[in-house]
Structure 1
Amino acid sequence: MAEFEIRNASARDIALMRDWAEEEGWNPGDSDRHAFAVADPAGFLVGRRSGEPLGCISAVRYGAGSGFIGFYITRPSVRGQGYGIQLWRAGMARLDGRVVGLDGVVDQQDNYRRSGFSHAWNNIRFEGAPGDGAVRPEGFTLVDAGTIPFGQLTAYDRRFFPETRGGFLAAWTSLPGRTAVAALHEGELRGLGVIRPCSGASRIGPLYADAPDVAAALIHSLAASAPGTAVAVDVPDQNKAATDLMQELGFVPTFETARMYTGPVPEIDRRGLFGITSLELG
């Protein structure tokens, strides 16, 4: 039997991983891969047999102590043959010694627990169209996030994520076809949202806000940049204000994942996290 080789992914491989995620029904962003490669160029692995790609995983390092697992896919035709576990071990070995997070399908939680992961919360994907008539909170202005000093934007993102990720954030907010909107109050950054095109519903993520009405204003503004299409937000269910808001807007749940970690759940601003950035990179 030909040897199964696991190597770092090329740019073409990462595009293929995106296509596989699409086939799994995950609705990845059309250009997400360009930001992913910036986050950690060596963090994407592909397994091949006789040159044919059979599976993949991402194991992205953040800072000195964090990591995130994603893109864990084995092609349907070779599942159950041991290739997936080899990819898993390679990804986890790359993140050895770090607190590792993942967003996995809920019915795989027991398997992740056997690998040392514990449940933190579920992310519920809500889809819909917010309609017209959003009221902007008094004293707030919405501006193009590209006009915000980048150090300020990066520091704000750090409130909601375990590590600073400036390079990734720069790409994520500025790729063609995306819209990034910031909410300001008396010159201070109080909200941030990014919408990106996908094959299905356009995805909003991240979605950070000081209060539900700020999040609602951001959703309306972002949705207006993608007229005629549904939008989707992956909402942490531990933020009841966020799930309540999505229901008030008429959005419906369509998909769910489990956020899990190998160590202590990172200390972040959970009350302000209305939508995660990405299921693949956290």
Structure 2
Amino acid sequence: MTGTGFEITGAGAADLELMRDWAEEEGWNPGDSDRFAFAAADPEGFLIGRVDAEPVACISAVRYGAGFGFIGFYIARPAFRGQGYGIRLWRAGTERLRGRLVGLDGVVEQQDNYRTSGFRPAWNNIRLEGVPDGLGALDGAPVRGGVELVDAASLPFGQLAAYDRRFFPESRDAFLSAWTSLPGRTALAAVRDGRIEGLGVIRPAAGPSRIGPLYAAHPDVAAALLRALARHAPGGRIAVDVPDANPTATALFAGLGLVPGFETARMYTGPPPALDLAGTYGVTSLELG
């Protein structure tokens, strides 16, 4: 039974840092500065459950545009599990997204619970980790057919945002701007004749540096972006969450020497949105989509 001292409030800056720490303890290896971009996405989309003022559980329920939402960070502290706090927070999060198509990335042990709440699997994301083969490629060198890798900040942001919309159900300009430009990150775009044909971002984490998103028009472009980004990781160690709906991506990265870590299921409450999955070689974030 839950105690009378349980309350749910919005998460402040210190709470977001605590949520990052809890995600690290769960083995999810979040990016060190992800919380700053998360706050830009939807400042009111992060909830904390407290028992007598002590934080015991969290969830994110982020709104995008008028019709989409994404749930993440669903964590209850081990000592407080099985007491009803998590489900009360879950209900608060899903209520915030009522009337929208909602997505999440569910860890294996929670997927049956998500199904009972109306979520259905669309694909699995496989985390692939390691030091990719062939890190000797030079940044900015031609990739194929005149494609070059450039600093994403050198391109008009509107062009980057329009490209991202091919891979995400709604515009997310504030989030994308922060995600690609926070200190310590590197964002590279693959460009040919002024058109974007790929985009990748790497960010530091406690474990292997995280790459996401990783979009590409061709496997050669994806491999070049992966290698170029990995040169910014300590020891070249990276992790990327690859949708198995793009079998070309999983085969490509396995061929580059990356090995599976864990997997999640991308699940939705309705028909999956129309996305360029053939061009998705790595999802942006398991917490925010």
CA contact (8 A) 1:181 1:192 kept: yes
SS state at 2:250 partner: helix
Pairs within 5 Å for 1:48-59: 48-59=50-61
Pairs within 5 Å for 1:195-234: 195-234=202-241
SS state at 1:228 partner: helix
CA contact (8 A) 1:201 1:232 kept: yes
Aligned amino acid, residue 120 of structure 1: A
Pairs within 5 Å for 1:1-282: 1-132=3-134, 133-134=136-137, 136-282=143-289
**Aligned-residue offset at 1:227:** 4.1
Q: Distance in 2 between matches of 1:105 and 1:227?
A: 27
Q: Distance in 1 between matches of 2:133 and 2:257?
A: 9
Q: Distance in 2 between matches of 1:139 and 1:64?
A: 39
| TM-score, normalization by structure 1 | 0.98
CA contact (8 A) 2:104 2:266 kept: yes
In angstroms, what is the RMSD of aligned CA positions?
1.0
With 270-279 and 127-136 compared, the bigger mean Cα shift is at 127-136
Where structure 1 has 5 or more consecutive residues not aligned to the other structure, the ranges are none
CA contact (8 A) 2:133 2:257 kept: no
CA contact (8 A) 1:137 1:217 kept: no
Query: Residues 139-179 of structure 1: CA distance to partner in whole angstroms, max 9, x if unpaired?
Result: 11100000110000000000000000000000000000000
**Aligned-residue offset at 1:226:** 1.8
**Aligned-residue offset at 1:229:** 3.9
Where structure 2 has 5 or more consecutive residues not aligned to the other structure, the ranges are none
Q: Distance in 1 between matches of 2:241 and 2:116?
A: 25
Instruction: State the identity %.
Output: 70
Q: Distance in 1 between matches of 2:269 and 2:23?
A: 24
**Aligned-residue offset at 1:186:** 1.2
Q: Distance in 1 between matches of 2:252 and 2:279?
A: 13
CA contact (8 A) 2:188 2:201 kept: yes
Q: Distance in 2 between matches of 1:229 and 1:22?
A: 20
Count of residues paired in the alignment: 282
**Aligned-residue offset at 1:32:** 0.1
